[in-house]
Structure 1
Amino acid sequence: MARWSVVVGYALLGAVTQVLWITYAPVTDAAASYYGVSDAAIGWLANVFPLLYVLLAVPAGMVLDRWFRGGLALGAVLAAAGARVRLAPGYGWALAGQLLVGVAQPLVLNAITGVASRNLPPEHRATGIAIGSAGTFAGLIVGFGLGAVFASPSGIRPLLAVQAGIAVAVGLAVLVVLRRPAPFAAERAAATGFGALRLALRDPGIRRLCALVFVPFGVFVSLSTFLQPLLEPAGVPEATAGLLLVANVVAGVVGCAVVPVFASRRRLEVTVMGLALAVTALACVALATVPGLAVGFVAVIALGLALLPALPIVLELTERRAGAAEGTATGLIWLSGNLGGLVLAAVVGVLVEAPPVAFLLLAALSVLTMPLLRSLRPAIQR
């Protein structure tokens, strides 16, 4: 029997991790004034997340392969605890809280395939992964929305209180739905320790999927980070750039709810990912050659529809192949994606004064990634 309550609880928890991650991004100046620190210091409250993910992705996957329910429950508890710690006065407590949530995030996000495989029959697992992914990305929209509501130094404390309340409520709900053993957990005998890592790395399909996500994930992170300064020379103001980013994520959430399920049911995963890379390249070329508000809206919506659904497609393929090393394999996928985000964002940051060059570079990298799909097709057929 399918247990959709676990899938829904997981989707809410994934959303919470993203809300807590971007807490300070839309209120950077207000937070800097509230804590009496620089904007750069506030930036580190978000930057610790990808850094911790790179360090903890594989260990978190190993934990989930050995103690799945315990590992996911620990992620829920750490996220709620981190949100509560941030309520203490002072920047140091804010950083400590973010570090706790940063440790929780890989335990939560790496669990997405395990939640689907342990609680849903095979025919519904792609839908479960799509729901989990859409919920996670929806957290970005909620985070930006809350930032807009509490966008003043006096609003920081209420903002943290609201987010702490949400995190605690969702964490408790997840602990409740995890009390019962998963109905399909016995299908897979979990690998443990470095055996799970060796098992995942020996699989050519997993290795190719890791290589595939590096560029698309990196393009999304780069544009999310630097879209405003890249479009500023074309006359797009900061507030409008924020709306563009929200439109990008909204389009991605809609795409995550529809595209991965369609691709899985018709076994069109490789074709859909090829189209996603093509759309990404064309959108980046458009932003490089005819930047502006109208082109920006069309391009970022296309990018959201193309890039974000590619992740649940890759995760569903990972679930299908990984078997006993499911958590570790998912961790490798997220690790590769986060590395792509760190590397490409660093490169785009250097090129931020030359927007056409930055956009064309992202387009070229998307095109150069396409040959990986040819080698991926036989690797995922099993």
Structure 2
Amino acid sequence: MSRWSAIVGYSLVGAATQLVWLNFAGVTTVAATHYGVSETAIGWLAQVFPLLYVVLSIPCGLLLDRWFRPALLAGAVLTTLGALVRLGAHFAWLLAGQLIASVAQPLVLNAVTGITGRYLSEKDRPTGIALGTASIFAGMVLAFLLSAVFPTAGSLHTMLVVTAAFCVVATVLLAVALRHPGHHAPAVAAVPQAIFAALRTSWADPLIRRLCLLAVFPFGVFVALSTFAQPLLEPAGVTSTTASVILLLNVIAGVIGSALIPIWAARHHAESPYLLVSLATTALCCVLLAFAPSTWLALITITLIGLLLLPALPIVLELVERRSGDAEGTAAGLIWLSGNLGGLLAATAVGLLVNHPRPAFLLLAVLPLIALPGAHTLRHRLATPTR
């Protein structure tokens, strides 16, 4: 029997992590003036999240495999604690709160496969993973909306209070939902040998290694495009306000796609064909932006990229859950680690080309093309026995 209340609680906490992460994405200049620091310092409030994720992803995945409920609840509590610490009046409090919440993020995001495996029946797990992942992207949308509702220096504190309240409610609801251990709660001895056996088992699976490699490219394109779309499109006459709207539509389309497309792909065993179409379409969109950038083309192509590319994450995570057995937290951690690493590398490379839009967009077109052979051979890997 499926316990959907656990998925609801998890989804709210997942959204909360992204809300805390991106609170200042739309008000960077205002926040810098308000706190008396540089815009670069405000930017680091977001950058600490992927940086720490790369370091903590695997350890957090191991913790989730051994002590799932305590580890997930610790992630929720730390997210809330970070949001509350940020209510202090000085930038130091803000940075401290972000660091606390960034430690919590891998404990929460790596749990998306574990929560479905423990609280949903097998037939409902693709839906649970799709909804859990979509809620993560929905948290990004909520962050952009809050920065639009509270755009001034005088309203920044109110924005932080609203965020903290959301985190508190989400954590309470998750704690209530996790009172029961779930119907699939592996009881494995929590000794170092057993813990690291989960990592060895996950990495030994050739399908999981292939999925890790595939995760690098969708993440990389999405992070780089989200970070640098505005300056790359500015020479084509796209204003910063319009670019913000385009990026918001990109994430909204990704939320919708992530909630619906992975369920369809799982039911029709169409994961590999879908990934091929998604990657090829993304490459084509980036080529069009390289040679014929305009406001309307950017609106259409970047929204289409969000709709088709972001669902690749829940599809990959569902395949990992299906494959990894009791090591799903570690395996999911490997996927998130690969994706965040791909995002950092792609964003760095595109950042070096930010004053040269055509080469930058062509680089973004090449990345998904590199992944096409792996997506094509994925169907043969999926034919091999799973757990």
TM-score under structure 1 normalisation? 0.98
Equivalent residue number for residue 317 of structure 2: 315
> Residue deviations 1:233-263, cap 9 Å, x none?
0000001000000000011111011100000
- How many angstroms does 1:373 deviate by? 1.7
Counterpart mapping for 1:85-124 below 5 A: 85-124=85-124
Determine what percentage of the aligned residue pairs are the same residue: 54
For residue 182 of structure 1, give the secondary structure of its aligned residue in structure 2: coil
Q: Does 1:205 align with 2:207?
A: yes
Counterpart code for 2:333: G
Q: Does 1:369 align with 2:371?
A: yes
**Selected match of 1:259 from 254, 258, 261:** 261
Work out the CA distance in 1 between the residues paired with 2:352 and 2:377.
32
* Shift in alpha-carbon separation, 1:209–1:356, aligned structure 2, 3 A: same
Runs of 4 or more, structure 1, over 4 Å off, are 188-191
Counterpart code for 1:235: G
For residue 151 of structure 1, give the secondary structure of its aligned residue in structure 2: coil
Equivalent residue number for residue 146 of structure 1: 146
Contact kept in structure 1, 2:273 and 2:376, CA below 8 Å:
no
> Residue deviations 1:66-95, cap 9 Å, x none?
000011000010000000000011111100
**More deviation, 357-366/243-252:** 357-366
Any gaps of 5 or more consecutive residues in structure 1? none
Contact kept in structure 2, 1:321 and 1:380, CA below 8 Å:
no
Equivalent residue number for residue 290 of structure 2: 288
For residue 265 of structure 2, give the secondary structure of its aligned residue in structure 1: helix
> Residue deviations 1:285-305, cap 9 Å, x none?
111111011100110111011
Work out the CA distance in 2 between the residues paired with 1:184 and 1:195.
19
Equivalent residue number for residue 272 of structure 1: 274
Counterpart mapping for 1:1-382 below 5 A: 1-185=1-185, 192-381=194-383, 382=385
* Shift in alpha-carbon separation, 1:190–1:115, aligned structure 2, 3 A: farther
For residue 370 of structure 1, give the secondary structure of its aligned residue in structure 2: helix
**More deviation, 24-33/202-211:** 24-33
For residue 291 of structure 1, give the secondary structure of its aligned residue in structure 2: coil
Work out the CA distance in 1 between the residues paired with 2:278 and 2:366.
14
- How many angstroms does 1:190 deviate by? 8.2
> Residue deviations 1:36-88, cap 9 Å, x none?
10000000000000000000000000000000001100001000000000001
Any gaps of 5 or more consecutive residues in structure 2? none
Count of matched residue positions in the alignment of Structure 1 and Structure 2: 381
The RMSD of aligned alpha carbons is: 1.1
Contact kept in structure 2, 1:318 and 1:329, CA below 8 Å:
yes
> Residue deviations 1:203-240, cap 9 Å, x none?
00100000001011100000000000000000000010
- How many angstroms does 1:374 deviate by? 3.0
For residue 56 of structure 1, give the secondary structure of its aligned residue in structure 2: helix
Counterpart code for 1:257: A
TM-score under structure 2 normalisation? 0.97
Counterpart code for 2:287: V
